[in-house]
A and B are shown apart, each in its own frame.
Chain A
């Protein structure tokens, strides 16, 4: 699962549109599933399940009829359509609304209906633009596992979102866009190790003794985070193994140790504005 992130106007949706063969690129080339997007935009869309933009479903039709129509558009053989529609509706939790008109649904239910439309696709690649918007928390957890399962069965997903914390649970590789250009690319681990200072949150048996012992390790920040927690920002990632050793030598139990850098921190690091230029200094 590949995540595309960036501020509003960075070009995420435009990128998806170009790759879907919907928007003419000004220059350059792109291939999706080995197909040249400029030469054969229709063929590209045959290989994709796409969710772009705010959904504009047919408000006057029922969920079942809406999905049956798009199942046919997606190339599902006619005899298989009813079963596939039922399966997809139950997967996305819209079965109770199967015979309701879409116009009567809430925004979250509409979004799930749109996701059901995409999941009807026979394609092995999905383009999902903000798939979790308007979806409640419990359904998001379910959706994340559905998408992970899709990927584990050999599918690929190109995904955009503004919610980086949520994306950490599902995205394998990240690309950060800014003004139409990719400014960072890699896995969460690669990006964090490149862009963030190594920081850890430690749960220890004695905070005061722990803080005293950890001062021996070169650090940028060292502070108590309350309730048996200590937070340390190291100068070098190479010093990370020393933390446990140092605490044991000081007779302090280390109950838990976790990295505290998130992809949101990576995003902030990438998009933070440059400080005002000082004479003779530039960034």
Chain B
């Protein structure tokens, strides 16, 4: 039996190798953040003056867009970095060397997820804080609250990615081959976690209702209410819905329940199933 210490050593060795991303990625990220910073700087400067320095207050309508920006940013970067680390390794064939060592599928998956988390956490934080940097400098945005939003969105995006990846492992075990790659299913879960939020579903629902409307009639308030009710019911499946609810409670916007009752058991089921099936997977599944 391979000890946890040995497994951890192997996982950390892979993470240590992966985290050394090319310098151009860092330079590009800093440049984008810098451009965003200067583009928003005039707006930041005009938001305050010597005589008027408003206190920032959180409402539902101003939490949603900033959370959405962070969720989109972290999802994009997590998806891209995981694709680079995991699918890139399979595509280039270098995974053939790694699997010759005493690692199992879970060790590789965990290592690649951790590598993606570390790299995308740094890159996305540079972008998020950099772009809104002007507002933090003039003291208009509370930096701590925005960092809390970003960390929550990052954690929720990571959960969505990890759920997709572990589900792909379980499917691979049942099917006997990699039917859908962990990167692809992870990306689908990242996309769904954004689309399945209340805002995402309401947007999609109104578009569908608009396209399917009888000629000569627009959508009514009743239609919109029905769409929103459905969106609220389905949004409990999105980690970002839960993340935003937790923040809304923390910021004193709402006292509503964070809807953890669906997402937590579902995540536990997927992670446990994926992990157990992953233990049984033979590693030539990457090659076949």
Residues of A that sit less than 8 Å from B by CB: 17, 20-24, 40-43, 45-46, 50-53, 55-59, 69-70, 72-75, 117
* B191 sits at the interface (CB 8 A): no
Q: Please report the C-alpha to C-alpha distance between residue A243 and residue B235 in the assembled complex, in whole angstroms.
A: 94
Q: Let me know if B100 and A69 touch, CB within 8 A.
A: no
Q: Could you jot down 27 A-B contacts, CB within 8 Å?
A: A20-B100, A21-B282, A22-B100, A22-B282, A22-B283, A22-B284, A24-B282, A40-B1, A42-B102, A45-B101, A50-B100, A51-B100, A53-B96, A56-B92, A56-B94, A56-B96, A57-B97, A59-B92, A69-B13, A69-B16, A70-B97, A72-B9, A72-B13, A73-B14, A73-B101, A75-B6, A117-B97
- Starting from the known contacts A22-B284, A75-B9, 20 additional A-B residue pairs (CB-CB under 8 Å) come to A20-B100, A21-B282, A22-B100, A41-B104, A41-B283, A42-B2, A42-B102, A43-B102, A56-B92, A56-B97, A58-B94, A59-B92, A69-B13, A69-B16, A70-B97, A72-B9, A73-B13, A73-B101, A73-B103, A117-B97
How long is the Cα–Cα vector from A70 to B92 in the complex, in angstroms? 17
Closest 7 CB pairs of A and B: A56-B93, A46-B102, A50-B100, A72-B13, A73-B101, A45-B102, A24-B282
A73 to B16, CA, bound (A): 11
Give the number of residues in B that approach A within 8 Å (Cβ atoms): 24
Q: Give the docked Cα–Cα distance between A74 and B10 (Å).
A: 9
Contacts of B14 in A (CB 8 A): 73
Contact A57 B94 (CB under 8 A): yes
Partner of A23, one of B10, B104, B282: B282
Q: Is B184 at the interface (CB under 8 A from chain A)? A: no
- A48 nearest in chain B by CB position: B100
CA distance A111 to B21 in the complex (A): 26
Can you name the residue of chain A whose Cβ is closest to the Cβ of B282?
Answer: A24
Residues of chain B lying within 8 A (CB to CB) of residue A117: 97
Bound complex: CA A225 to CA B284 (Å): 52
Assembled-state Cα–Cα distance A59/B89 (Å): 12
Quote the shortest CB–CB distance from A61 to chain B (angstroms): 8
Nearest A residue to B92 via CB reads A56
Most B CB contacts (10 A, CB to CB) among A24, A42, A43, A55 go to A42
Instruction: Please report the C-alpha to C-alpha distance between residue A41 and residue B279 in the assembled complex, in whole angstroms.
Output: 10
* C-alpha gap A43/B3 in the complex (Å): 10
Of residues 250 through 286 on chain B, the ones whose CB sits less than 8 Å from some CB of chain A are 282-284
Residues of A within 8 A of B282 (CB): 21-24, 41
**Which B residues are in CB contact (< 8 Å) with A70?**
97, 101
Closest to A55 in B: B97
Chain A residues whose C-beta falls within 8 Å of the C-beta of B9 in the assembled complex: 72, 75
Task: Give min CB distance, B110 to chain A, whole Å.
Answer: 14
Q: Is B17 an interface residue (CB 8 A)?
A: yes
Evaluate whether A46 and B100 lie within 8 angstroms (CB atoms) in the complex, with A22-B282, A22-B283 already known: no
Contact across chains for B17 and A69 when beta carbons are under 8 A apart:
yes
* Minimal beta-carbon separation of A79 from chain B (angstroms): 14
Tell whether B98 is near chain A: CB-to-CB under 8 Å: yes
B80 within 8 A of A: no
Q: How far is the CB of B96 from chain A (nearest CB, A)?
A: 5
Q: Are the CB atoms of A43 and B96 closer together than 8 Å?
A: no
B209 at the interface (CB under 8 A from A): no
- In this assembly, does B99 line the interface, its C-beta being within 8 Å of a C-beta of chain A? yes
Contact A42 B94, CB 8 Å, known A69-B13, A69-B17: no
In the complex, what residues of A have CB within 8 A of residue B99's CB?
Answer: 22
Against A, the Cβ 8 Å flags (1 = close, 0 = not) of B92-122 are: 1110111111111000000000000000000
Query: Known: A23-B282, A53-B96. Contact between A42 and B103, CB under 8 A?
Result: yes
Contact status A73-B98, CB under 8 Å: yes
The distance from the CB of B93 to the nearest CB of chain A, in whole angstroms, is 3
A55 to B17, CA, bound (A): 18
Which chain A residues lie closer than 8 Å to B13 at the CB level? 69, 72-73
Check if A46 sits within 8 Å of B2, measured CB to CB: yes
Q: How far is the CB of A22 from chain B (nearest CB, A)?
A: 5
**Contact between A73 and B10, CB atoms less than 8 A apart:** yes
The docked-state distance in angstroms from the alpha carbon of A50 to that of B97 is 9
In angstroms, how far is the closest chain B Cβ from the Cβ of A14?
Answer: 10
**B60 nearest CB across to chain A (Å):** 47
Contacts of A52 in B (CB 8 A): 96, 100
Q: Which chain B positions have C-beta within 8 A of A75?
A: 6, 9
Chain B residues with CB under 8 Å of A45's CB are 100-102
- Residue with the highest number of chain B CB atoms closer than 10 Å, among A45, A53, A58: A45
Asked if B102 and A23 sit within 8 Å, CB to CB, the answer is no
The residues of A that contact B16 with a CB separation of less than 8 Å are 69, 72
Bound: A22/B286 CA distance, A: 10
Residue of B nearest to A46 (CB): B102
Pick from A17, A42, A74: contact of B284, CB below 8 A: A17
- Write out the residue numbers on chain B whose beta carbons fall within 8 Å of the beta carbon of A22: 99-100, 282-284
Tell me the complex Cα distance, A21–B99, Å: 10
Question: Which chain A residues border B97 with CB–CB below 8 Å?
Answer: 55-57, 70, 117
Contacts of A51 in B (CB 8 A): 100
Docked CA distance A75–B186 (Å)? 31
Q: Is the CB of A42 within 8 A of B104?
A: yes
Residue of B6, B17, B98 most packed against chain A (CB within 10 A): B17
Residue numbers in B under 8 Å from A24 (CB-CB): 282, 284
